[in-house]
Structure 1
Amino acid sequence: MNTSAKFLALAIGSALMASSVQASTQEDDARQLARAAAVEAAKASGKEDKVSYEEPARSYFNWGGIVRPDGKIVSVRDGSVAASMGVQPGDELLKVNGNPVSGNSLKEMLAPFDNLQHGDSFTVTVGRDGTEHQFSGEAKATVIPGWRLEVDVAMEEQQVGTTEGEGCGRISVFFTPPVTRDYYPAFIDSVDGETVRVQNPNLVVSAGEHTIGVHELIEDPSVRRRKSLATEKEFQLTVEPDTTYYIAAHFIREKRFDRVNQGYWEPIVWKVTEQECTVE
């Protein structure tokens, strides 16, 4: 794997690691970053049809106290191991398991915590109001799940209609929309009456007004479809040059029993980005 691919593969790992420890909206952003990085890394790695990346499960211990290089504890996170031990902001970290903490950097000072495994008992000694206090605790590891990501490098854009002299933009269902907002995947069935039936990536269209036909791919146990009546839903979209519009299906929960008219969902644009568009 060349240097660009290695760098972007690291971006995948960083993004997926972030998704495991942040709030749900940040998880969605991290997944999209990981997927975009994977595509670029795959393109950089050669001419293979598919490229895979994977990382095993890992764990780490976060004590919960933020320590300055001089040993002063400036903050203690609520609910952390440090908080449960009784450590307070303003304390000075002196020892871990009876061994004095010292070093030329914060990394060296906190190195004793790196050797703790899940379930290990340990003690910290802090200075407070001129006296030493020793506290006991148990390490609790945070697990980062393993992951595997496979990218189809052969995936290409599809041009719909003519774009000569008008500039172009894209409509896309490539990124997974944030389910936390009741946005679900969809596929594009038609553009201006032309059947395309695209479930993966990007369509290049001319700048201007378009009629987009969309089918929903909502996965929710409360949805009871009448498949014989499942038809595309159309909406109007004004495409600006060098702009990408990401399409999703918005699940309207209060209308989940409206099956005949498909009132339980509507097609939406959930994300818009600037991206240069040229026609080869």
Structure 2
Amino acid sequence: MSLWRNQVLLLLGVCMLLSACASQPDTSRYCGTVSGYSEPDREQNIYRVVVTHLNGKPVISKPNYQLSPGVYEFTLAELIDSPTLKVKLAARTPKVLSVKVEANQRYHIAARFNTDKVYRGNNTAFWEPEVWLTQEHECELPEIK
């Protein structure tokens, strides 16, 4: 009986050791992507944007931003070229969009042109930044060596 008990204890010990050694996924490389390259549907009054700042720091705008999961602040300049836009150039100021990035998601950002009324002069309410499309998208940050 004691031989059987010793074998069971040995087997349990080996199982515990192996489960402790089992590799876990490297979550430090998980990421999501924020994209501004895709041409939105202008018939729905959605236009492209240019990223000027990320979390308050100036950036050179690029098509994709691969980011670790978390909340990010994008400062955006709209590229609305509608003939119905009547505001002065001074009203075309950047706005901030907060994006909660989750792993393996792509967020397409854009400017929504508000067409509920004709905006004139220095009225900056003519547009709002938004995520106009969210898609599943595999993303893994490069390994840091």
Quick check: TM above 0.5? Answer: yes
2:102 aligned to which of 232, 240, 252: 240
* 5+ long unaligned stretches in structure 2: 1-26
Q: Tell me which residue corresponds to 1:5.
A: none
Aligned pair 1:269/2:126, yes or no?
Answer: no
2:57 aligned to which of 194, 202, 206: 194
Looking at structure 1, the residues matched to 60 and 116 of structure 2 have their Cα atoms a distance apart, in angstroms, of 29
Report which structure shows greater RCO (CA 8 Å, sep ≥6).
2
Looking at structure 2, the residues matched to 217 and 229 of structure 1 have their Cα atoms a distance apart, in angstroms, of 13
1:185 aligned to which of 48, 52, 56: 48
Closer, same or farther: CA 220–206 of 1 in aligned 2, 3 Å: same
Q: Tell me which residue corresponds to 1:104.
A: none
Aligned-residue RMSD, C-alpha: 1.9
Looking at structure 2, the residues matched to 262 and 226 of structure 1 have their Cα atoms a distance apart, in angstroms, of 9
1:169 aligned to which of 5, 29, 32: 32
The one-letter code matched in structure 2 to 1:173 is G
Closer, same or farther: CA 228–202 of 1 in aligned 2, 3 Å: same
Aligned pair 1:253/2:124, yes or no?
Answer: no
2:67 aligned to which of 205, 225, 230: 205
The one-letter code matched in structure 2 to 1:222 is T
Deviation at 1:211, TM superposition (A): 1.1
Q: Name which one, 1 or 2, has greater alpha-carbon Rg.
A: 1
Does the 8 Å contact 2:29/2:141 carry over to 1?
A: no
Aligned pair 1:214/2:76, yes or no?
Answer: yes
Q: Tell me which residue corresponds to 1:225.
A: 87
Closer, same or farther: CA 259–236 of 1 in aligned 2, 3 Å: farther
**Deviation readout 1:185-232 (Å, 9 max, x if unpaired):** 11111111111241x511112211111111110111111232234321
Secondary structure at 2:76 match in 1: strand
Secondary structure at 2:81 match in 1: coil
Q: Normalization by structure 1: what TM-score? A: 0.39
**Deviation readout 1:212-256 (Å, 9 max, x if unpaired):** 111110111111232234321012111101111001110001243
* 5+ long unaligned stretches in structure 1: 1-163
Does the 8 Å contact 1:254/1:264 carry over to 2?
A: no
Does the 8 Å contact 2:108/2:131 carry over to 1?
A: yes
Which structure 2 residues correspond to residues 53-132 of structure 1 after superposition, within 5 A? none
